[in-house]
Structure 1
Amino acid sequence: MLIKRSPNGIDLPFSSEITPREIFESRRTFIKQLAVGSIAGAGLLDQAWAQSGNAKLAARLNPAWSAMEKQTAYKDATTYNNFYEFGTDKSDPAHYAGTLKPRPWTVSIEGEVKKPFTLDIDSLLKLAPLEERVYRLRCVEGWSMVIPWIGYSFSEIIKKAEPTGNAKYVEFVSLADKKQMPGVGSRVLDWPYVEGLRMDEANHPLALLTLGMYGEVLPNQNGAPVRIIVPWKYGFKSAKSIVKIRFVKDMPRTAWNLAAPSEYGFYSNVNPDVDHPRWSQATERRIGEDGFFTRKRKTLMFNGYSDVASLYTGMDLRKNF
């Protein structure tokens, strides 16, 4: 991000960075209304923004699990996404995810559990007190964001399900509906999108069952209506638009590990010492810091979440990448 300087040397933000949210929203509403009247008939209206504004979602800030860093701008966080169900370009989800219908929605919890159950989205919202946690998110391509997510520890689901002794892993299965998700027709991955965690990883308090961001319910392009956030792992481990959670005995066969096993391991912990075969992981570009002379940040082990290090005691994290 380029920085303006006043004559006395004081750093000044761009006006776009200090625009109040309510003004930004009113502008967006005006633009949408104008677009509906002028270009909707031509099919040019951005579907993701054609819907009404997202519902507010109140949550208590949990400072113990919140990064005290400048947050990524809402616009950047909602228009620069990986969500291959809606296309492979970073801008595709914001353009095409308007076809996703986040209500009605149910998530089934099944497999090696004593108490399988199914919850609709309203029940998920009420399962435990909602918290806001400001997490860093590091993607394998080398970019990162800082986002205020809303949800609660996934351990609340684990406690309710009461896994049996056979449950060693948790498998997350995303929606794969060609009618709602145009990218599902592609062959870039085997659908549905599947991700997984070891049981102790899923039970760590940092693993967040996520239902909102920036004080609102999740936008479609960010994984509405429910996703998982695992902040010490690369972003693709945080499955979006989840419809099924399975407790299983064997390590899940995850989407990217199946597609390119030499590039995407099951663990996929953020590790500056283990490069992707096609690029370094030693540094990262924080979205919003896009100035030509802005230096990249050094990537932190476990994305800076050192609390999880004990989960991997004795493991070779180069072999188990």
Structure 2
Amino acid sequence: MGRFKTALKYSDITPKADFLNRRQLMAGAAGVSLAGGLAGGLATPAVAAMNAAKSKWSTTQEPTAYEDVISYNNFYEFGTGKGDPAQHAHALTTDPWSVEIGGLVNNPGNYALEDILKDMTLEERIYRFRCVEAWAMVVPWVGFQLSDLIAKADPQGNAKYVAFETLMRPEEMHGQKNGSFPWPYVEGLRMDEAMHPLTLMATGLYDEPLPNQNGAPLRLVVPWKYGFKSIKSIVKITLTETEPPATWNLINAREYGFYSNVNPNVSHPRWSQASHRVIGSGLFASKEPTEMFNGYGDAVAGLYDGMDLSKNF
């Protein structure tokens, strides 16, 4: 874990002038977001995103440019092109927002986001992000550990998995009008994966509230798994005893396993996973080698002791 550093913040590894210039350029947009939050009673996520604690789990790698992170996205609810989410996600209403938590928990309920966040400790975590399509980013997320939310729900002893569900609102998410996908988008983790301290519920990035195209106002981030496991715009969390469905696994189980851990030794049926392209490095830049578990193996490999990761992919 040599690339992790305690007390690391985005501005610590970015030249100060560049950091301040970025903040000045974004001031207008951020002001609109904050004003909307204050008016709608969701000021806490926006303000807290810019006052988060620093985390020992951050990588020391340089973050991807903000403009690339917010403009190169997979979010099929707004279209299948990489630029479609940035173009169309403004239609999504994120205030108010609530999350239904149920299943094998002792404190089920429909929780307003501001009520969830008032009990959470937000941190800035700079994570590597690896897409199954063999491209990668480094993103400074702001969020809280999923384990803290699960603890708030008080799981029952027979809960073995955590299921997640994305918002279903085709009048705002026009991609959901396409019947070729089994909407709404769903995902799941095994309980020990969900409780791992690396597993993050993100509410922001780059010290700003989470943009709609990146999964506002609440998304999952599991940095040792391919990006499609990090489900966006979550409205429902259910603890279960049996393995929950996952959208890409439902569509094509041969290509997308339930676990979907980053594994350079297991190729996708249509391309190698041994290397990846870094977004922002240019079309002709050399690919970088992909590390097992996206470089987080020291922290998470023990979760899979005794498992054949070529079969349980």
TM bracket, shorter-chain basis: 0.7 to 0.9
CA deviation after TM superposition for structure 1 residue 187, in Å: 2.6
Per the alignment, residue 54 of structure 2 pairs with 61
Per the alignment, residue 266 of structure 1 pairs with 258
Matched AA of 2:83? S
Give 3-state SS (helix, strand or coil) of 1:264's partner: coil
Question: Given the alignment of the two structures, is residue 108 of structure 1 paired with residue 126 of structure 2, yes or no?
Answer: no
CA deviations over 1:22-77 (Å, ceiling 9, x no partner): 45336xx5xxxxxxxxxxxxxxxxxxx89934645220111x20010110111000
Instruction: Tell me, in whole angstroms, the C-alpha distance in 1 between the residues paired with 2:19 and 2:111.
Output: 40
Match of 2:175 among 183, 190, 210: 183
Matched AA of 1:25? M
Per the alignment, residue 42 of structure 1 pairs with none
Moved more, 125-134 or 87-96: 125-134
Match of 2:193 among 201, 209, 219: 201
Larger Rg: 1
Match of 1:86 among 66, 71, 78: 78
For the 8 Å contact 2:30–2:208, the answer to whether it is kept is no
Unaligned segments of structure 2, at least 5 residues = 1-17, 35-45
CA deviation after TM superposition for structure 1 residue 157, in Å: 1.2
Instruction: Tell me, in whole angstroms, the C-alpha distance in 2 between the residues paired with 1:180 and 1:246.
Output: 24
Give 3-state SS (helix, strand or coil) of 1:20's partner: helix
For the 8 Å contact 2:91–2:172, the answer to whether it is kept is yes
For the 8 Å contact 1:125–1:211, the answer to whether it is kept is no
Per the alignment, residue 305 of structure 1 pairs with 296
CA deviations over 1:245-273 (Å, ceiling 9, x no partner): 00011111110001111100000000000
5 Å-filtered alignment, 1:233-252, equals 233-252=225-244
5 Å-filtered alignment, 1:43-192, equals 52-53=32-33, 55-56=46-47, 57=49, 58-62=51-55, 64-192=56-184
Give 3-state SS (helix, strand or coil) of 1:155's partner: helix
For the 8 Å contact 1:85–1:183, the answer to whether it is kept is yes
CA deviations over 1:186-213 (Å, ceiling 9, x no partner): 1332011000000000000000011111
Matched AA of 2:89? A
Instruction: Tell me, in whole angstroms, the C-alpha distance in 1 between the residues paired with 2:30 and 2:189.
Output: 36
Change (3 A) 1:242 1:200: same
For the 8 Å contact 2:164–2:237, the answer to whether it is kept is yes
CA deviations over 1:88-125 (Å, ceiling 9, x no partner): 00000000001100101100110011111322121222
Match of 2:249 among 257, 271, 274: 257
Give 3-state SS (helix, strand or coil) of 1:202's partner: helix
Instruction: Tell me, in whole angstroms, the C-alpha distance in 2 between the residues paired with 1:23 and 1:213.
Output: 16
Matched AA of 1:203? M
Change (3 A) 1:165 1:188: same
Instruction: Tell me, in whole angstroms, the C-alpha distance in 2 between the residues paired with 1:311 and 1:237.
Output: 17
Instruction: Tell me, in whole angstroms, the C-alpha distance in 2 between the residues paired with 1:187 and 1:311.
Output: 36
Number of equivalences: 284
Q: How big is the alpha-carbon RMSD for the aligned residues of Structure 1 and Structure 2?
A: 2.0
Matched AA of 1:67? T
Per the alignment, residue 9 of structure 1 pairs with none
Q: TM-score, normalised by structure 2?
A: 0.87
Give 3-state SS (helix, strand or coil) of 1:150's partner: strand
Q: TM-score, normalised by structure 1?
A: 0.84
Per the alignment, residue 11 of structure 2 pairs with none
CA deviation after TM superposition for structure 1 residue 216, in Å: 1.2
Change (3 A) 1:68 1:304: same
Change (3 A) 1:18 1:243: closer
CA deviation after TM superposition for structure 1 residue 301, in Å: 0.3
For the 8 Å contact 1:50–1:98, the answer to whether it is kept is no
Change (3 A) 1:186 1:89: same
CA deviations over 1:212-250 (Å, ceiling 9, x no partner): 111111100000000110000000000100000000111
Change (3 A) 1:206 1:18: closer
Per the alignment, residue 25 of structure 1 pairs with 26
Give 3-state SS (helix, strand or coil) of 1:156's partner: helix
Question: Given the alignment of the two structures, is residue 219 of structure 1 paired with residue 211 of structure 2, yes or no?
Answer: yes
CA deviations over 1:290-314 (Å, ceiling 9, x no partner): 152x211100000000110000000
Match of 1:285 among 277, 282, 285: 277
